[in-house]
Structure 1
């Protein structure tokens, strides 16, 4: 599968199918866009681009701001790495809490409401699942600081759209979204017209590098499966056919860390 997200795919697979995603081919580019969106929103680029007069105004910027990154899988880790030079306070949240070898604390999602209190930005990088659908709801949004920015490069339904639109309409928050709910975002939707909403059409991984990275990944997978090995990046494995018949069996069910 040439994407990271897999929602809805499993129901269309035949019995014993093995599903692998494109981990390794999308994370860098998506993290690049997440940081671009955050920087653009924090420096007021959309407003500057829309005005037709030379009007200088002050913008928040990132230095010293508190940025919460929701998800510490491939995209989340790359977002954190790219944000480090901007000297913001970066707080990471994942499904399970842990402390990394370098001392970085990853907070569990169970304390999300506490962690986002007063945060200046929230970047969502998690995939869509029963656990993450609607995770960023009205309560989480209300906990963010006045003027905070919500960035979503994971999946649209992770953020409750109506609650987000309400906060944007009031002018209290801003948003920079590469994914939306619904998606594609229909003509006339409120998110298109709100001046504090920056929307891109789900282009996170879509750079010049994507084709090369996907071709490389597919070639590597063909070699592995052709040799009787498991493919990389298995996220669903219901196979019961033994080795030596071109069907992977070595890897247990694997889920992208988030």
Structure 2
């Protein structure tokens, strides 16, 4: 699916990512964890092509297809390879309708179609009800649903969500958690969820990658994320 090996990234002279290696198992949910400023969003931006990788490799492979060097593809082509991205802060087009937001995203997909996949409105029925309203009229949680839906219209194999629960009250966080779990279990997506803390109840096959100072200090199954790691690298 997606494999990073010894990835380094610099902002000018500042070394941000240091030999990051990470592999996302197909069909599983991996949490990219760490305090604010440790390099999580930088890593996601390197995967999506918004930032250059100074050294290392990023490989992408769909089931039954040859492995690709993702670094050879410009940012505007990576969504069409099957990678969906929900940025931090939602970044919906507030003056466009819900329907227009989704149809703009369709143009970046693998299948050049004007058809919004049924799963989008099945997962977020409120968006169907509000499809002719401006995105800016949605609540914060509604805009987050739209941001996720906008990535889903591409029918991706991998969905990356950058702090999807940030700033929301516990009931909304729980709802987002249910949506994410449904994407994995019912629709078979591979997920990379970026968070400062672990916001959802983990499942048995969930994985984690823990960053500190731009380094991957621990990774594995979530059951291995013990109290000592939490206190050392996640506690505020």
TM class by shorter-chain length?
0.3 to 0.5
Structure-1-length-normalised TM-score: 0.33
**Of the two, which has the highest radius of gyration?**
1
- Pick the structure with more strand per residue: 2
Structure-2-length-normalised TM-score: 0.35
